[in-house]
Amino acid sequence: MATDPVCQMNVEERTAAEQSAYEGTTYYFCSPGCREAFEKDPGQYLPKTTDLLGRKIHPER
């Protein structure tokens, strides 16, 4: 089970309405609208991996 990064809906990978690859990762979507929104601005929907100075952010352990 995957999570649509736009609407946070649970999506079954095998039956997802849409999918899109970004930076080597495949993301699954509940609808074409969610995929289109993601493709316009993926950074808006993905967790931040660097801070404002470009340093890698380490997830809390």
What's the mean pLDDT when you consider all of the chain? 89
The answer for residues whose C-beta is within 8 angstroms of residue 37's C-beta and 6 or more apart is 6, 45
Handedness of CA 37, 12, 47, 25 (dihedral sign): negative
Decide if pLDDT at 1 tops 50.
Answer: yes
d(CA 37, CA 13): 19
Rounded to two decimals, the pTM is 0.77
- pLDDT score for 27: 97
CA gap 4, 17 in Å, rounded:
11
How many Å apart are CA 15 and CA 12, to the nearest integer? 6
Instruction: Please report the pLDDT score of residue 14 as a whole number.
Output: 95
Residue 60 has what pLDDT? 56
Above 80 in pLDDT, residue 17?
yes
